[in-house]
Each structure stands twice: as structure tokens, then as C-alpha cells.
Amino acid sequence: MNGSMNQRPLLEVDDLAVRFYTLRGTVHALEDVSFKLGQGESVGLVGETGCGKSLTARAILRIISPPGKIIRGHIRFEDKQLLELSEKEIRDIRGNQISMIMQEPKMSLNPSMRVGKQVAETLMIHDRSLGKRAAMAQALDMLNAVSIPDPGHMSKRFPHELSGGMAQRIMIAMMLVTRPKLLIADEPTSALDVTIQAQIIDLINGLIEDIGSSVLMISHDLGVVAETCDRVIVMYAGSVAESGLVEEVMENPQHPYTQGLLRTLPDAIDPGQPLYSIKGTVPNLLEEPLGCRFAPRCPQAMDRCFRQKPPVFDVGPGHQVACFLHETSSPQASASSGPSAGLEV
């Protein structure tokens, strides 16, 4: 997939911030998240568990429940500002123009409804003129497209009767049957064994190619992102650390966190050597960090890193990093170090 950023992006997220107001205090879950996704492009959103990848996706779809709240930012999809739409207007987009494959398919499917009916219902919700028979016919076609054996028989089964791989295929069918312009895939292979993972990734790639959707692939698996995405966005503790073309970021990482993340891959370790781990722990987001969120774990941190949020520096064509280490090599920051600083890719 080779989306062009020369034309107006399909999706633009700018200065997104999310808070959770709990009894223990305010959790600063997302801060200054900014990025763009082009028409027909595939972008990977990576980082360790709890860094805000899934929360970013849920904010785009406006499915963050209390005590969570989007407190700042802009999310533009085509010509629509999603945060300004009414609940009815966003429902018309959610599941129709923007679809999301959830992490745990069996938790997302209705346990009391046959899976074929669930796929057909997705169509009928967004096309009131479509009858049950026509919707079921399209649903069976989609089940066949996701390589469900004997779709007519399998459509009559309930979710608990399916394997993890089959349930994921049903979820993919539900999310793609409306031919969305944007597909958000949230860890689509995390609950599957290795052999099934490869099949699911190949299936998603093939269907997306046919439909022409843009993709936001959320994963902690850098290998999956390398195989499926044009560009990658690296997140840490609710903020964007680095972004750029997949090949550039993988081969020439510029942020200390990205460098550490790549060193944790088994392929980066010499035989017989212990696995590498990034020292320290993720910051407590109940306390709003004054500077760089990675500074307490960064082996190259300077005094200013603990006091001041780093701006975003261009370190190559389409390659950006939020780190003071690149201040001298890239004197022109692409964003200020104030509240609205964020990576735009």
C-alpha cells in the first residue's frame, strides 16, 4: 500500500489529549498526539502495553467512556471534524466509513446471535433500505471472502462454537462488509497462534488491497508492522516519540526509546546472550510529567529533559523525532515545545 501524502490526508489527528478522572486523581493518558494518514496508506502505531495505542483509536471513534474524556484536540476525517459531530452523526460514520477490528473477537461478538446474522446486521444498520435476505446474501459473500469454509453452515453458528482464528475472520468480515474508507486494526493477531497470525495478516492485506481502504494498524509486534505498513508511529506513555517510513525508522531509529525497543527484539540479540530490556518503569500518569516522558528511563537524558517537553525535529525526509538530542542537527523544530507540540507525519 502506497498512499500519497501529497493529496489531502484521509485522517488528521492534531494535539489530541485524553484524561481519566478517577478517585485516585487525574490520569494524563494521552498528550499532544498528532499524526496524519493518507488515502490508501497503511500506518502502524506501535509501543509497549499501556502506551495509548488503543486509546488513540477509541478517541478517533469517540468510544471513550467515563471517567475518560477527550479534553483537547482535533480529529478530521475527510471534511468532517469528528469531535464536533452529534452522536447520531458519529454513529453514521462509526462501523460504516471507519471500522475497527478489536483485540478479542469473542469478547466483541454477540454471544447470543448467530455470526452470519451479526455480519448481515452490520450492513442493515447503515443501509435501512437493505432487506434481510439481501443483507444475508452479502454477508455470506463476505464470509467466503475471509476464507470461512462452508459459509452457509458456519453462518448459523454462535461465537462460542468457533475457534479463535474463525472468530477473528468473522470480526474481519463484519468490519469490512461495509467497505470502510478507514480500517483500524487493534492487535488483530495478539490472541492467535503464530501460524494463524500469518494467515490473518495475509487475509487483511489482501482484502484491504481489494477494497482500497486506508489502515491504522495497532500492534506491539514490530514484525507485523514491518510486513504490513508504509509508515510507523512510535508511542511512549501516551505521547508520540518518533515517526517515519517503516524502513527508515527500523534501520535508523533516532529516539532513545525506539532504539531500545528495537534492541529488545530476539533477532537483535547474539546467540547465547540475555535478552535486552529497557531499564526502569513506565511513568505514573497520575502525575503530569513536566518534561520528556521517557527521560527517567533514558540513558542519554539531560537536565532539561526533566523540565521541558522536547519539540519535534525533522531528522530526514518524513522522519520526525521528539528529542533534544537532535536540536543541533535539526535546528528548525517542526513544532513548538509548548502545549500543542506533537508529531505530524
- Using DSSP's 3-state secondary structure scheme, residue 43 falls into strand
Whether 25 is covered by a domain: the verdict is: no
330 and 241 both lie in a single domain: yes
Report yes or no: 18 and 45 within 8 Å, Cβ to Cβ: no
Per-residue model confidence as pLDDT tens digits over 201-222: 888 888 888 888 999 999 988 8
314: helix, strand or coil: strand
What pLDDT sits at residue 6? Answer: 54
CB contact at 8 A, 74 and 83: yes
Residue 161 counted as domain residue: yes
Residue found under cell 510486513? 227
Answer yes or no: do 250 and 171 share one domain. Answer: no
Ranges of the chain with pLDDT below 70: 1-7, 191, 268-269, 329-345
Residue 58 lies in a domain: no
pTM of the model: 0.87
CA-wise closest residue to 241 among 268, 228, 225, 259: 259
Residues 326 and 313 sit within 8 Å (Cβ to Cβ): yes
Task: Specify if 193 maps to a domain.
Answer: no
Convert the pLDDT of each residue in 60-83 to its tens digit: 999 999 999 999 999 999 999 999
pLDDT of residue 226: 87
Choose among 97, 223, 239, 115: nearest CA to 169: 115
Helix/strand/coil for 327: coil
101, 188 in Cβ contact below 8 A?
yes
Q: Is 12 contained in some domain?
A: no
158 and 240 part of one domain: no
- pLDDT for res 204: 85
Same structural domain for residues 168 and 241? no
- What nine digits make up the cell of 186? 487493534
What pLDDT, in 10s, does the model give residues 81-138? 999 999 999 999 998 999 999 887 788 899 999 999 999 999 998 888 889 999 999 9
Q: Is 107 exposed, middle or buried (0-12, 13-18, 19+ CB in 10 A)?
A: exposed
84 in any annotated domain: no
Query: Alpha-carbon torsion 224, 194, 237, 94, what sign?
Result: positive
- 80 falls within a domain: no
Report yes or no on 288 lying in a domain.
Answer: yes
Domain count, the chain: 2
DSSP 91-112: HHHBTTTEEEE-S-HHHHS-TT
- In this structure, what are the phi and psi dihedrals at residue 319, rounded to the nearest 5 degrees? -110, 120
* pLDDT value of residue 165: 86
d(CA 64, CA 71): 12
**Residue 149 structural domain:** 105-177
Verify that 251 and 329 share a domain, yes or no: yes
